[in-house]
Amino acid sequence: MVDADEIEALLPQTQCTRCGYQGCRPYAEAISRREAEINQCPPGGSPTIANLAALLQRAPLPLNPSNGVEGPPLVAQVDEATCIGCAKCLLPCPVDAIVGARKQMHTVLLALCTGCELCIAPCPVDCISMVPRASLADAPPVPESQASRRRFLAHTERIVRRAHERDALLAARKRMAVAGGPARET
């Protein structure tokens, strides 16, 4: 059996979930266990499928259409006139490529955007669209996959840490409420 690390290294690290898994690592682990086929990654497309087939000594397969279609690398674009600054696009971005603050216009850092499309659904005003990276005159190249992986791991770590901090704060507040809490000034 091929190690999941070797498989993951061949994936594009968009963390888009189109493969049916919550990121490239879970997909790599499923492939390693033979629970998933090698043709479920639309961002990687034919080249990734061919590389996985060679690594795993399997026959290459066409991209599974139920996972999406192969296309050019995409990048998110925010319509600045429409953005209301709700910040709902920030959390789903797996590589923190969107910046902004509540009630302020958001923008996409093109050098970091993996084109995962996860920012589109939460936007209540449909101000985010995906465009081919090559159609933008000033667009930097597709982010290097291992850099995107590091950003994804940092994003995930931060979310988990904040959840633990929030849970600890809520537990402390609950303990204080049960104990009568601090005296309030009147």
pLDDT reported for residue 185 = 54
Q: Is residue 184 part of a domain?
A: no
Full-model pTM? 0.85
- Structural domain contains residue 24: yes
Full residue range of the structural domain in which residue 110 is found:
72-178
Considering its fold, how many domains does the chain have in total?
A: 2
CA distance 25 to 99: 25
> In terms of DSSP bridges, do strands 74-78 and 128-132 run parallel, antiparallel, or are they unpaired?
antiparallel
Of the residues 23, 39, 67, the one at which a domain ends:
67
Which tens digits make up the pLDDT trace of 143-169? 999 999 999 999 999 999 999 999 999
State the pLDDT at residue 181: 61
- 88 and 137 share one domain: yes
Render pLDDT for 128-145 as a digit per residue (tens, 0 to 9). Answer: 999 999 999 888 999 999
Note whether residue 185 is domain-resident.
Answer: no
Closest CA to 151 of 95, 111, 108, 99: 95
Residue 186, in any domain of the structure = no
* 8 Å CB contact between 40 and 27: yes
49 and 106 share a domain? no
Q: How far apart are CA 5 and CA 72, in angstroms?
A: 26
Indicate whether 107 and 22 sit together in one domain: no
